[in-house]
Amino acid sequence: MGNIVAIVGRPNVGKSTLFNRLIQKREAIIDSVSGVTRDRHYGKSDWNGKEFSVIDTGGYVVGSDDVFESEIDKQVELAIDEADAIIFMVDVEAGITGMDEEVANLLRRVNKPVLLAVNKVDAANRLNDAAEFYGLGLGEFYPLASISGSGTGELLDALVEVLPEVEEVEESELPRFAVVGRPNAGKSSFINALIGEDRYIVTDIAGTTRDSIDTKYNRFGFEFNLVDTAGIRRKAKVKEDLEFYSVMRSVRAIEFSDVCLVVVDATRDFDSQVQNIFWLAVKNSKGVVILVNKWDLVEKDHKTTKAYEAHIREQIAPFTDVPIVFISTLTKQRIYKAIETAVEVYNNRSKKIQTSKFNETMLPIIERTSPPAYKGKFIKIKYCMQLPTKTPQFVFFCNLPQYIRDGYKRFLENKLREHYGFSGVPIKIYFRKK
């Protein structure tokens, strides 16, 4: 579990540019969802061997030019609650504005590291102008130009210095399931339906992550830990529906789990917020099960479960090999099925395929349908194996890895899924020179 760093500040000071710079080299490596770009307000970064998640709070404001002060205040308070360190960004061209002062007032009261980044300092004379930001009372500042990247290194050096040491959580032998989804989709009721009035809980390990409760279950013949972030530390001040809030909360639960149970409210559709949470799980290489709740409330005339399922698969393409279970937290319908499916996905995620068997299966398939020639060059795949990683990753050795197209990569992934059953599990495929 890495630390979370939030970038705050008023609109148009360059938060997103800095954010993109922090995550880009990582993103290129970890984004295995080919051809899919999503709203990127969350990503992973690392500096000097320290890994952390970055959240760009600006991405969550509607109508970003004339943001109401209250929206900015809300984001800052969220960042204060949820992040381990905060980068507060200001703009040397504009000088100190009223809104900057307001943000600074909130941040001065925090006992978390706050780094003041003064952006657009791209010339020596601007450095003198930057000195006025001492007036915000936040101490030292870091001059930078997020467009060219100058000054970012100093900021990051200082950042990793102040990030708290991440406590190594004892690796539990038990699978960890996180129940995630947008507010009011039925996460808490799902968890309560699982626990039941008679509390099947064996132990409550509170505080294994700062704000989620790990609950050990032994039920239906399965033993697992539930990472529950549903009912914890609700801030009355924060409007529950704030997308940023639920994504921020999901980040921790997702990073901390093996399988994510994404609860969807059937009456509200599989909207962009649920999709964000879904892709967050996929990008973190977690197993995924989609639970459609409140199906009993949907007008049945125009929708069948089949049609609704097809609709969801359309939204999550190209990663469509995901189990979808229709549940009702009220009547406890198919709650057992949901957990059984999560256990299957957990097992799929830890599947190991023997190299010789893997080649016996895959090489004939590749021979029948070899990669299309590119620029008149023929690509020969000679050998393949599963990498010894925690999540399923495969490498195919060939003469011209750079010429393999996404379409062929997807073809191989589909064959892999067909033969080995990786339902609910993101797979990574690499091509290397033999």
| φ, ψ for residue 215, nearest 5 deg | -115, 130
Q: Give the pLDDT of residue 197.
A: 47
pLDDT value, residue 385: 97
The structure tokens listed for 57 are: 């709070």
**By the 8 A CB rule, do 318 and 311 touch?**
no
pLDDT under 70: residue ranges of the chain = 1, 25-40, 58-70, 167-172, 196-214, 220, 228-249, 301-302
Eight-class DSSP state of 371:
P
Considering all CA atoms of the chain, what is the largest pairwise distance in Å, rounded to the nearest integer?
70
Q: What is the pLDDT of residue 209?
A: 34
Say what the pLDDT of residue 28 is. 41
Angle, CA 137 vertex, CA 136 and CA 143 arms, to 5° = 65
pLDDT at 223: 86
| pLDDT number for residue 425 | 97
Q: Which helix (H) or strand (E) holds 27?
A: helix 15-30
Q: What's the token pair of residue 334?
A: 């198919």
What are the structure tokens assigned to 385, written together?
Answer: 């194996």
Cα–Cα dist 66/11, whole Å: 8
Are the CB atoms for 25 and 47 separated by under 8 Å? Answer: no
pLDDT the model gives residue 272: 80
What is the predicted pLDDT for the residue at 65? 47
Measured distance CA(217)–CA(257) in Å, rounded: 15
DSSP letter, residue 57: G
Q: What is the pLDDT of residue 309?
A: 93
| Residue 248, C-beta contacts closer than 8 angstroms, at least 6 positions apart | 4, 55, 78, 82
CB 248, CB 273: distance < 8 Å = no
Whole-angstrom Cα distance, residue 273 to residue 275? 5
| Coil/strand/helix, residue 89 | strand
